[in-house]
Amino acid sequence: AIPSLSRACSSIDNIYNLEKDLKQSQNDVEIFAEQQALHEEPFESLSCKGLSFSYPAAPGNGADSFRLPPFDFTVKAGEIVFVVGGNGSGKSTFLKLLTALYQPVSGQIEWNGRVVTADRLASYRNLFTPIFTDFHIFKRILGVPNLDEVKVRELIARMELVGKTDVENKRLTHTDLSTGQKKRLALILAKLDDRPIYIFDEWAADQDPIFRRFFYTTLLPEIKADGHAVIAVTHDDSYFIYADRVLKMEYG
């Protein structure tokens, strides 16, 4: 048992070291934001004004780091916005800046016409249910205190995952699925969160043609009809008619 115990101790040390590094990397705004209680406020609109971002220059790369120059952007409740552009154009960076996971170099974000300051930052982040390309699924269903397992099974059936996974005691029985199936499972969890803004980063890319059509023609209009906003990165130009607006990014 000694080798297993040694590996466990090493893993625990790594977790503690990671926690320490994360705390050291937090600025005063993040530390203050973490201490604020979440408060509910109906979502009406989100506006970015002069928002910009720049990655730190990589060693040996001079000043040629990728950047998003100042931009304006607005989305309202009950609106679907598609974001298109080639690889490396800044789509994922835009989403992480919009969700306040990245700190902007300049500009501001307004939520319902009020600037998102440090005391509202945690509540602002709580507006979003994002499914990024590098998402992870936990077996335990988190953040849903009054989980209705009947509803979960209904969603599993609707996402055509019956026989692939199930829910027992607030836990998913299987998460070892194909990429497309994992994305469907992530969408189930997103719908359980039921937050005002859904973020999809190329969600449909790994779906078969039939389910891709179901996503654009049925699921997104339903989400919109419920009063949610949708911001989706996509390359499926045949479904652009289901968006209220399509924005194209080129090199930031």
Per-residue pLDDT of the chain (252 residues; tens, 9 = 90+): 999 999 999 999 999 998 888 777 677 767 666 767 777 888 999 999 999 999 887 666 555 678 899 999 999 999 999 999 988 888 999 999 999 999 899 999 999 999 998 888 889 999 999 999 888 898 999 888 888 999 999 999 999 999 999 999 889 999 999 999 999 999 999 999 889 999 999 999 989 999 999 999 999 999 999 999 999 999 999 999 999 999 999 888
Could you give the count of Cα atoms lying within 13 Å of 65 in the half-sphere of its Cβ? 12
Look up residue 44 and give its amino acid.
Answer: E
Give CA–CA dist 184/217, Å, rounded.
16
Give the 3-state secondary structure of residue 234: coil
| pLDDT score for 174 | 92
- Tokens 């790369």 — which residue? 61
Which pLDDT does position 62 carry in this prediction?
Answer: 58
Q: How far apart are CA 137 and CA 31, in angstroms?
A: 26
Amino acid 41: pLDDT: 85
In degrees, rounded to 5, the angle at the alpha carbon of residue 116 between the alpha carbons of residues 111 and 130 is 65
74 CB-near residues (< 8 Å, 6+ apart): 45, 46, 47, 48
Considering the entire predicted model, what is its pTM? Answer: 0.84
